[in-house]
Structure 1
Amino acid sequence: MTQHFLQYGDDSLAVTGNFPDTGQTLPSFMLVDEHLRDVSLESFLGRTKLVVTLLSLDAETGGLALLQELRRKLEGWPLLQFIVISVDSPFSLHRARKEHGLPNVVLLSTLRGRDFHKHFGVLLQDYPLAGMTCPALWLVDEQDRILHAQLLDNADDDFDIARLRNALVATLPAPSGQQTA
């Protein structure tokens, strides 16, 4: 079990669990989508995936703005399947989809998958965010092998897009004519 800390304002919050890292196979999951359907990792087998955990889509930091920035910077890879996971209820996910569109993004809730937090090493243990998921991402190939992994140290930070792009270029080149830098 790994120990990590997320800086959230003045608070340094403990993050625990088994963070899957580069070279490992991403653990399976069964989570809930915005229509209350169960969705497993196996549903995306054969696709290159970017699995992202957020504090909440409603969070001012570590939420929707972080996701939108990530999508904007990676728009050169239309074949990349975005999977976004948070503790938000399926109803909140549905509202976020309605208000923000989020095309080509699968939104999943940990409502019926509470073991996800520990299996993915993103369980925030300390007040005021206890029980939420720390912002993290995994670039995963078609066979669920992790090509790149990041766990944020500060809720105000962005993901390291340069490192992520390097892993993407080696795996899923952007279509010709698309800018990737």
Structure 2
Amino acid sequence: MATITFQGKPINTIGDLPAVGDKAPDFKLTNRKMQDVGLAEFAGKRKVMNIVPSLDTPTCATSTRKFNEKAAHLDNTAVLTISADLPFAQARFCEIEGIKHVTALSTFRSSFAHDYGVQLLDSILAGLTARAIVIIDENDQVIYTQLVSEIADEPDYVSALAVLAHKD
């Protein structure tokens, strides 16, 4: 279990992020076409997992926009924004915002939040995910993790993207 804050008040996650060097847990997430996808759909690519509580919040929307901008320049890399939003809402957000380089995936019928240790256990956000970045290499090995300590803050994009620069 990890403790982060929401507006300065402590909240807990169900577990810890996968450790760097571990094989990434497979997942079942739902795309905007209501299809379940897992690691196999991104085989041979690096995966940047931008895990957010909801695209319907300013910080989550900002991080998705920023990763969309940065993803346009990343070779052999899939950028995934993962939230509890329904696929319909994710699709609408991506269309309105012009998000073309990020794949939005929903946790709504999966154990992803539990398996990746990001499910929030308490506060008004219980059941949603903590804000985190997990980067997985072409062989599904975790090469970077970041659990954002204050859920209202943006992740450290520079550190995350620096890991990708070293893997080119």
TM-score scaled by length of structure 1: 0.85
Show the counterpart of 2:19: 21
Distance 1:52 1:97 in 2: 14
1:22-101 pair list within 5 angstroms: 22-61=20-59, 63-73=60-70, 75-101=72-98
Aligned residues: 168
- Across the aligned residues of Structure 1 and Structure 2, the Cα RMSD in angstroms comes to 1.6
Deviates more, 1:39-48 or 1:71-80: 71-80
Structure 1 contact 17–117 (Cα < 8 Å) conserved: no
Q: CA deviation at 1:44?
A: 0.3
Structure-2 residue corresponding to 1:133:
129
1:94/1:72 CA distance change after superposition, 3 Å = closer
Q: Hey, what does 2:151 align to over in structure 1?
A: 155
What are the Cα deviations for residues 118-166 of structure 1, in whole angstroms up to 9, with x where unaligned? 1101010112100001111111111111111111101232222332233
Counterparts in 2 of 1:143 and 1:20: CA distance versus 1, 3 Å: same
Aligned partners of 2:80 and 2:103 also within 8 Å: yes
Q: Rg: which structure is higher?
A: 1
1:108-127 alignment, distance < 5 Å: 108-113=105-110, 115-127=111-123
For residues 88-130 of structure 1, the C-alpha deviation after alignment (integer angstroms, 9 at most, x for no partner) is 01111121122112112111111110x1111101010112100
Q: Distance in 1 between matches of 2:93 and 2:68?
A: 15
What percent identity do the matched residue pairs reach? Answer: 28
- Secondary structure of 1:162's counterpart equals helix
24-33 vs 67-76, which moves further: 67-76
Q: What secondary structure, in the 3-state scheme, does the structure 1 residue paired with 2:146 have?
A: strand
- For residues 34 and 116 of structure 1, what CA distance do their matches in structure 2 show? 17
CA–CA separation in structure 2 for the residues paired with 1:93 and 1:74: 18
Q: Residues of 2 paired with 1:6 and 1:100: CA distance?
A: 29
1:17-73: CA deviations, max 9, x gaps? 242021111100011111111111111010111011101000133x11122234435
Partners of 2:14 and 2:118 within 8 A in 1: yes
- Could you tell which deviates more after superposition, 71-80 or 153-162? 71-80
The TM-score, its normalising length taken from structure 2, stands at 0.92
